[in-house]
Amino acid sequence: MSTRFPIRFDWKDLELILALAETGSIAAAAERNHLVPSAVSKRLSDLEKQFGAALVERHARGVRLTPAGEALRSRAGHLLDQARHVQDELHDYASGMTGHVRLFANISAIVEFLPRALVAFRELYPGIRVELQEQVSADVAQAVQAGVADLGIVSELPHLPALTFTPFRQDELQLVVPAGHPLATRTHLAFIEALDYPLVGLHANSTLHERLTREAARVGHDLRPLVQVTSFDAVCAMVAAGLGVGVVPRGATTPYVQSLGLVGLTLTDHWAQRQLCLCTRAGETGSPAAQKLFAHLRQTSDV
- What average pLDDT score do residues 273-297 get? 91
Q: Do domains 98-169+275-299 and 171-273 have the same CATH topology?
A: yes
Measured between alpha carbons, how far is 14 from 7 in angstroms, rounded to an integer? Answer: 13
Q: Are 20 and 63 in contact (CB under 8 A)?
A: yes
Looking at residue 165, what is its pLDDT?
93
Q: CATH number of the domain at 98-169+275-299, out of 3.40.190.10, 3.40.50.300, 3.40.1190.20, 3.40.630.30?
A: 3.40.190.10
Q: How high does pLDDT run on average in the chain?
A: 87
The residue extents of the domains of the chain are: 11-79, 98-169+275-299, 171-273
Q: Which of 4-13, 126-135, 184-193 has the lowest mean pLDDT?
A: 4-13
Per-residue pLDDT reduced to its tens digit, 53-89? 888 888 878 888 888 888 888 877 777 776 776 677 6
Measured between alpha carbons, how far is 40 from 50 in angstroms, rounded to an integer? Answer: 15
Per-residue pLDDT reduced to its tens digit, 8-39? 667 788 888 888 888 888 889 888 888 888 88
Phi, psi for 212 (deg, rounded to 5) = -65, -35
More confident residue, 47 or 273: 273
Measured between alpha carbons, how far is 284 from 247 in angstroms, rounded to an integer? Answer: 36
Measured between alpha carbons, how far is 182 from 155 in angstroms, rounded to an integer? Answer: 31
> Which percentage of the chain shows pLDDT scores above 90?
43
Model confidence at 96, pLDDT cuts 50, 70, 90, reads low
Per-residue pLDDT reduced to its tens digit, 224-253? 899 999 889 999 999 999 999 999 999 888
- What average pLDDT score do residues 278-296 get? 91
Looking at residue 148, what is its pLDDT?
86
Helix, strand, or coil (residue 99): strand
Per-residue pLDDT reduced to its tens digit, 198-220? 999 988 888 889 899 999 999 99
Looking at residue 248, what is its pLDDT?
94
Looking at residue 1, what is its pLDDT?
45
Which residue type sits at 303? V
Question: Would you give the DSSP letter of residue 159?
Answer: -
Looking at residue 94, what is its pLDDT?
62
How many angstroms separate the first and last alpha carbons of the chain?
Answer: 46
- What average pLDDT score do residues 94-116 get? 84
Q: CATH number of the domain at 171-273, out of 3.40.190.10, 3.40.630.30, 3.10.180.10, 3.30.160.100?
A: 3.40.190.10
Residue 205 CB-half CA count within 13 A: 9
Burial 58-71 (b: 16+ CB within 10 A, else e): eeeebbebeebbee
List of E strands, 159-272: 163-178, 188-189, 199-202, 227-229, 245-249, 262-267
Measured between alpha carbons, how far is 108 from 207 in angstroms, rounded to an integer? Answer: 10
CATH annotation of 11-79: 1.10.10.10
